[in-house]
Each structure stands twice: as structure tokens, then as C-alpha cells.
Amino acid sequence: MKSTKPVLRALAGEALPVPPVWIMRQAGRYLPEYRATREKAGDFLSLCYNSDFATEVTLQPIRRFDFDASIIFADILLIPHALGADLSFVEGEGPRLSAITGKSDFDTLKGADDIHETLAPVYQTMRNLSSELPKKCALIGFAGAPWTVATYMIAGKGTPDQGPARKFKTEQRAAFQQLMDLLTEATINYLNAQISAGAEIVKLFDTWAGCLTGQDFEDFAVRPVAKIISGIREKHPEIPVIAFPREAGMGYVDFHEKTGANCVAVDHFATPNWAAQNVQPGGCVQGNLDPVHMVDGGADLVSQTKKVVSAFSNGPHIFNLGHGITPDANPKNVHLMIDTIRGN
């Protein structure tokens, strides 16, 4: 049965007169109601693992902006945490994990089938959202792609150039491949469980795909995502998948075909016209307004929003930012963006 939800229609290949819209990190610190809920939760991980609080912050931007899709509130590093890595979030600095520096560190991790007890609150949040979202709003589950998750696990934190992970994959290739294989299998299990709990779409975030070049991009950005999508299709053939290989450049071309993704999310470093000509022929495209416009607003926001809508108007398109909305964004600018898209 054909869905009436705009995001699902776009993912099925339909070019809509008004593109559906949601934004990455739409539940976040730019919203005062999010900050209030996070304070009640106590810390970031507690917010992720408390299904009542996580449900509430996921619903907040839907109530405020009437987005066409809702993405569950969680974090890409919950998988390594479920695998047994230590994880904490330092205010103003980001995540801290127990670093993997060699095979002995890797050997302490759990198996890919042993993640679900830790992640059970995420599945409960998904079930909550399935019954509480507006009927037109599609529910998105997500995970980090294996390469990006591995970069944090190897360095023990985020780094500017992912140097530790690139060094590890060169010097300890077998151990690195073993880690990638574990993360790939765990991600398949995690996303399939999210779908069983109610996700109608799943998305893979490969934030650091742009650090990979040549054969490494094929081996560690394309191949694991293709395997994950295949693993999802085996159990849930009807569920569409969005893939986001950020800063992939020319790697965006043919990414639909190589991975089997229904939709490729494009960052703001690619021009809309280029993406429309080179990426959209493969299927739905998501993107790609520069997040800075959510801070600056004004006439530039309106003109650039119209430019994105126009560029992708001849094919299936989900309007989104080229990366996550930032904490200093003004909610009024989000309203202006949506009004511009919908012609209000």
C-alpha cells in the first residue's frame, strides 16, 4: 500500500511539488525546551537511555516546527558503549571512550549479538514515538556508519583529521578490519531492532567519510554501508535507507548504486546544481542547505533555501541541512526556512 507520508513518498522515488523537510540534530541545544529537559535528565547519556526523556526531546521539534519526519534521539556512540567500551560526554569537549590501541583492547569487546540489553531503552523510545507522532510524520532510526564509529573508538575521542584511525588501519590492518566487521554486524542488528520497534526509515551517518580516499573510500565507506543495507533488506525489504557519507565529494556519484541506498544525503560543500546533476539521477537526494543560515537568517536564508528547492525540483528530494543544526542557531530561522519551502 502506497504511503501518504511525504518523506516516504520521496524515498519511493516521487518528485513532490513541495519537498518534505526535516533537519539533522533537530532535537538539540538550540531549543530552550531541549535544554530544560536535558537538565532534568542530568547528563547526556542519561537523556539517551531514559525513554521518557528521549521521547520528549524527539517530539519537541515536531510540535514546534511541524517537520515531516522525526529522528529518534540517541547517539552514534551507543553501539560501542553497548559493545563494552567506556563512554562519557565531557561538557564543551565531546565524547570520551576507552581507546583501542591494539588487538588486546579489541578482544575485551562483546559480540555483535550482545548489544540489545544496553540498547533496550532506545527500542522503547522508538515504540513510544510510533504511537505519539502525528500521522503525516515519518519515524527515522539511525546509527553511525562503521568507519566513523571506529574513528572515535580508536582515538578515544573526536579528532580534527582522524589521524589515529588512519594510522591504525595502516599499521594494524587485520585488527582494524576485525573492528570494522564487528561494527558492521552490530549495526545491522541495531537497525533491524529499531525497525522492529517501529522505525519506518533508517539512516547511516558517516560523518568522517571525507577522510577516506581512493580504495580506502571503497573499502571502508562504501562496502560496510552496502553490507549493512543488505542485512537490513534481508529482514525488512520494504524499509528505505538514507546514507550520509559527509564530505565525500566525487564519492557521492554512484553512491546509490554501489550501496543500495534509497537516498543519499549531501553535505553543503556540494553545490545543489552539481548534486542534482550527478547524484539525484541515482535516486532520492537529501540536503543540502548550509547550517550557517540557521544562525544568520535573513534574505540569504530565503534565497539559498529557494535555490536548493529549485535545483532538486525535477526529482525526488528531501529538504535538509548539509550537516546538523548548531547550538547557536535561532529557532525563528528554522520557521523562516520552512515557510519558504512550503510557500507560506
State the cell numbers at 217: 573510500
Mention every residue, 6+ apart, whose C-beta is less than 8 A from residue 223.
none
Q: Which of 25, 34, 68, 166 is catalytic?
A: 25
- 118 close to 81: Cβ distance less than 8 angstroms: yes
Give the burial class of 39: count Cβ atoms within 10 A of its Cβ; 0-12 exposed, 13-18 middle, 19 or more buried.
Answer: exposed
* Location of C-alpha cell 507520508: 5
Q: What single-letter amino acid sits at 2?
A: K
Which residues of the chain form beta strands (DSSP E)?
69-71, 87-90, 94-97, 138-144, 201-206, 241-245, 263-265, 284-289, 317-321
- 12 close to 3: Cβ distance less than 8 angstroms: yes
Q: Which of 152, 190, 252, 290 is catalytic?
A: 152
- 251 close to 245: Cβ distance less than 8 angstroms: yes
Calpha distance 20→319 (Å, rounded): 6
Helix/strand/coil for 113? coil
Q: Which of 34, 68, 75, 206 is catalytic?
A: 75
Known catalytic membership, residue 152:
yes
- 65 close to 335: Cβ distance less than 8 angstroms: yes
Known catalytic membership, residue 29:
yes
CA distances in angstroms from 310 to 16, 161, 185, listed in the order given: 12, 34, 39
Q: Which of 9, 34, 38, 267 is catalytic?
A: 38
- Please spell the DSSP secondary structure of 187-256, one letter per residue: HHHHHHHHHHTT-SEEEEEETTGGG--HHHHIIIIIHHHHHHHHHHHHH-TT--EEEEETT-GGGGTTHH
CA distances in angstroms from 297 to 91, 203, 292, 300, listed in the order given: 27, 28, 8, 7
Calpha distance 200→142 (Å, rounded): 11
Q: Which of 29, 64, 127, 223 is catalytic?
A: 29
Known catalytic residues are: 25, 29, 38, 75, 152
